[in-house]
Amino acid sequence: MKKNFTFIANWKMYLNFNEEIDLATSEYDNYIKLAKNTNSEIIICPSFLSLSNITQIFKTTEIETGAQNCSEHLKGSFTSQVSAESLNLIGSKFCIIGHSESRKYLHENENQIIGKLDMLIDNKISPILCIGENQEEHKKNETLKKLELQLKKLEESISNNANIREYIPIYIAYEPLWSIGTGNIPTQQHLENVFTWLFEKTQNINNNVEFKILYGGSVNAENTNFLKKIKHLDGFLIGKSSLDFQEFEKIVRLGSLS
């Protein structure tokens, strides 16, 4: 049976190791029931330190886990970095790359981000590629221009990667930087324009690749009904709201309703 929406819980660095393990174990049954009752794809992305533990906790369930980043390098003298190979070995099947916070605080550029994507594909991990425009670009109506630049390397990579045809979906998460953490949600017209453009864009990249288009940016239970109506939307990348299971549950249930 085909899954409905995808809900990715990005825990960021809000919780410490003990708190992340406690959240996963205390709500274990509820996560499983939520995925089953809503026929939703639920992916939890905790910090690196607890990722292996939480992957094992949910190993025999429908709940999947993902990393919040990875290295663009295979291996070597890259202190503090984590390889896609290691993520594969612990059983993590997803990984967020190009998140606005990583672009901002770690100064990641498009070449580095696409290098991460290539590493993930080679290790059979589904990339969750984040793209989006800042406030100035938004005001200048340069959103699509910015997204075009951010997806250019993706097109090149897929064209040159022989492994892509035997692979799994690529997730593209549109996250307008000016919306994240502010509570300011884009207008319906803006979102319709962006998602229609993204859908048409991804359809033309490679017919053998399955793309899923997500929205991320101040997603909560109050705006889910509005956001889920976006044409071509496949799910949500959820930040702080995913730390409260009751709030996360409301988002999933609301987003899963037709």
**Phi, psi torsion values for 6, nearest 5 degrees:** -100, 135
- CA pair distance 147, 232, nearest whole angstrom: 16
Q: Is 173 helix (H, G, I), strand (E, B) or coil?
A: strand
Contact 171, 214 (CB under 8 A): yes
Tokens matching residue 105 = 């605080």
- CA pair distance 123, 205, nearest whole angstrom: 21
- CA pair distance 139, 142, nearest whole angstrom: 8
- CA pair distance 76, 162, nearest whole angstrom: 24
- CA pair distance 171, 240, nearest whole angstrom: 20
- CA pair distance 238, 109, nearest whole angstrom: 23
Question: Is 99 part of the annotated catalytic residue set?
Answer: yes
- CA pair distance 247, 4, nearest whole angstrom: 19
Q: Is 67 helix (H, G, I), strand (E, B) or coil?
A: strand
Contact 149, 105 (CB under 8 A): no
- Residue in 41, 64, 99, 232 annotated catalytic: 99
- Residue in 108, 137, 175, 249 annotated catalytic: 175
Amino acid at 110: E
Tokens matching residue 66 = 């993902």
Contact 8, 66 (CB under 8 A): yes
Q: Which residues are identified as catalytic?
A: 99, 175
